[in-house]
Every structure is written in structure tokens, then in C-alpha cells.
Amino acid sequence: MAITNNAQIQVGDIGTQLQIEVVDQDSVVVDIGPATTKEICLSKPSGTNVKFTASFPSGGDGSDGLMEYITESGDLDEEGVWKIQGRVVFTTGEWRTGVDSFRVYDNIC
């Protein structure tokens, strides 16, 4: 998992790129171009789970295994440690990535 546009994520940040690379059990990149569904699933510090439709990074076609979600208003609404996982669905089956985590920091203004 990679997070760009902000070295430290704050509650309420908009435009933070949450990116996941999909690899198989041997750590080989999976071509997710043909996937019928691409999701980035987040678990908030409170335990609430949310799902977002993922897209390919700019200029990408999924052959590099990358998918992303760019945060919008209201997405990052809790301070603490968040969990992140990718989900892809193909006509042949459905798979999930490993779970990773990142911290969202509170604000003072």
C-alpha cells in the first residue's frame, strides 16, 4: 500500500491518494485490467468499515496491479489507526489483498 500527496494524513484531508498494488501469493503483480470490480476497503479506528470504488492511477490500465482511491470530503473523519485492504472481482473469481494500516492525525485548527 502506498499513500501519496501527504506525508502525514490529517482528519478531513481531501485529495489523499490511497494506492494498493495487487500481487499473488508469490508476490507477482496481478494484471487487474480485466477486473469487473475494484474496491478499496477501509476500517476506521472505531471499527466501522467503508468501501470505495477504486480506479487505475492516471494513465494506468491495471497491468501494473495498481488501483487507487482519492479521498473526498468526509472520508477521513476519525483520528487513529486505519486499516486498508483491496478487493478485485474477475469473471473467474474474487480476491482480496493483505491488510495494511496507516495513521490519521487529529487537527488543532
> Got the DSSP string for 4-65?
ES-SSEETT--S-EEEEE-B-TTSPBP--TT-SEEEEEEE-TTS-EEEEE-B--TT--STT-
Tens digits of residue pLDDT in 28-55: 999 999 999 999 999 999 999 999 999 9
Longest Cα–Cα distance of the chain, Å, equals 49
Q: Which CATH number fits domain 2-105: 3.30.390.30, 2.60.40.10, 2.60.40.1930, 2.60.120.10?
A: 2.60.40.1930
- Name the one residue in this structure whose C-alpha cell is 499513500: 3
C-beta neighbour count of 86 within 10 angstroms? 27
| Domain residue extents for the chain | 2-105
Query: pLDDT tens string for the chain (109 positions)?
Result: 555 554 699 999 999 999 999 999 999 999 999 999 999 999 999 999 999 999 999 889 999 999 999 999 999 999 999 999 999 999 999 999 999 999 999 999 9
